Structure 1
Amino acid sequence: MSVNTILMIDDDVELTELVSQYLQTNGFEVHYSHHGRDIDTLIATHQPDVIVLDLMLPDIDGLTICKSIRADFSGAIIMLTALGDDIDEVTGLEVGADDYLAKPVKPRVLLAHIRAQLRRQSQLQLTHQETSIWCCHDTVKLDTGSRSVESHGQEVILSSAEFDLLVLLAKHAGNTVTRESLHEQIFRLPYDGIDRSIDLRISRIRKKLGDDPKLPSLIKTVRNVGYLLAR
């Protein structure tokens, strides 16, 4: 049985050691660093399945790191922050984070989110039997094998969570998918009615596909229900 690898980047030494020990006790291989330097080397060396990334680091901020690695790193990125401002969450998700937790975070809560991200990745890999999915009036092509997207023949770079969300919508193209259903399938956690993660990802996908946010034609918002992707 393979062991999932976690890479934790956080300058809080006490928290890092506590969380690392807890995750190791629960069967994970854990590596960590207290600064953001050499992030590419750390990823290449340890090949993590999930990166837990602090927003505030002494040398380089987590948002910059997330943005720099997102295109090449296909695993999940969970961002941590001690700040309570919503703009930090919005920005974190927009640069490609898959999940977001406020500090101080309890180890068992972080563990639940890590497992949810791993289940999401595993489940989507098992269910992606088809090679290509066409949608949006046959202008958008999703390749579930290579996890790539093309719009009008041009490559579109999506984060892992954005790709998974678009696949879910594409599988039900022409039909409304509720926000609750999308949230539960992406995060494997109950929807609390407040979390904006799905909405932020939809906004990000629209932007990347060139869909007009004020009058979208590709991903339509069904008020108080969810979203509908054009066939």
Structure 2
Amino acid sequence: MNYHIGVVEDDMNIQNIVTAYLKKEGFTATALESAEEAFDLWETQPPDMWILDIMLPGMDGYDFCKRIREESDVPIIIISAKDEEIDKILGIELGGDDYLTKPFSPRELVARVKRLFKRTKPAKQEADEEKDKIKIDNLLVRKNDRRLFWMGQEVEVTTKEYDMLLLFAENVNRAFSREELLVKIWGEDYFGSDRAVDDLVKRIRKKLGDIQLETVWGYGYRLRSEEE
């Protein structure tokens, strides 16, 4: 996996060395000179790890670390010229996963980056896998590989059957009109009859037995679940 690392360091020499070593090891590295710049990156393209200097212009690294921890468990390695034990303890207590004192070996930093990713990777993978799945009662949709399971058994479905079931699963208990379904499943240029929607629903019901795909009379359909 090509991990993205945010390097927050206002010393340009250290910044350049660290990003060069990270890129050499196959990581994507974004260099930032302040916590404020780092927050902009966090909002638009959040890194998989932060390498964070403590002494920064404006907001310091401690405050940045604390605020990131309020939102995420993303790994954070703190680098600092402060080598007192109290500084290290504070950095870890505020949410840092590792602490490296300047001056440091770039190779050692890369080794710690790899070790930290190795430690946190299983949890990240598990979280990513959970995001990939949508489970509604006996229906399980796996989005990444477009697979569908009913009562624990994989069911072969067509592209449009899958697209309709995914739409309903992501909007459980919401009623969709036939016109909405035509646009969302067939596209805005489709000029056929809305009977195509009814036929697709019939095929899904036939394949998935007692799935709670209800008719909303005079309107359309919805996937019902009492669990939501």
What TM-score results when the alignment is normalised by the length of structure 2?
A: 0.53
Q: 1:90 to 1:25 in 2, by over 3 A?
A: same
Identity of aligned residues (%): 33
RMSD (Å) for aligned C-alpha atoms: 2.1
The Cα shift of 1:51 comes to: 0.1
Q: Is the 8 A contact 1:5 1:46 kept in 2?
A: no
Letter of the structure 2 residue corresponding to residue 13 of structure 1? M
The Cα shift of 1:56 comes to: 0.7
The separation in 1 between residues aligned to 2:124 and 2:18, in whole angstroms, is 28
The separation in 2 between residues aligned to 1:125 and 1:6, in whole angstroms, is 15
The separation in 1 between residues aligned to 2:65 and 2:102, in whole angstroms, is 18
Q: Is the 8 A contact 2:32 2:38 kept in 1?
A: no
Partner of residue 46, structure 1: 45
2:78 matches 1:83: no
Going by fraction, where is helix more abundant, 1 or 2? 2
What TM-score results when the alignment is normalised by the length of structure 1?
A: 0.52
Give deviations 1:18-47, integer Å, cap 9, x for gaps: 111111011000001111214322112232
SS of corresponding position for 1:37: helix
Count of aligned pairs between the two proteins: 130
2:84 matches 1:103: no
The Cα shift of 1:87 comes to: 0.7
Partner of residue 213, structure 1: none
SS of corresponding position for 2:7: strand
The separation in 2 between residues aligned to 1:41 and 1:124, in whole angstroms, is 25
Gaps of 5+ in 1: 130-144, 147-231
Partner of residue 13, structure 2: 14
Letter of the structure 2 residue corresponding to residue 35 of structure 1? S
Q: Is the 8 A contact 1:31 1:46 kept in 2?
A: no
Q: Which has the higher contact order (CA 8 A, sep 6+)?
A: 1
Q: Is the 8 A contact 2:8 2:35 kept in 1?
A: yes
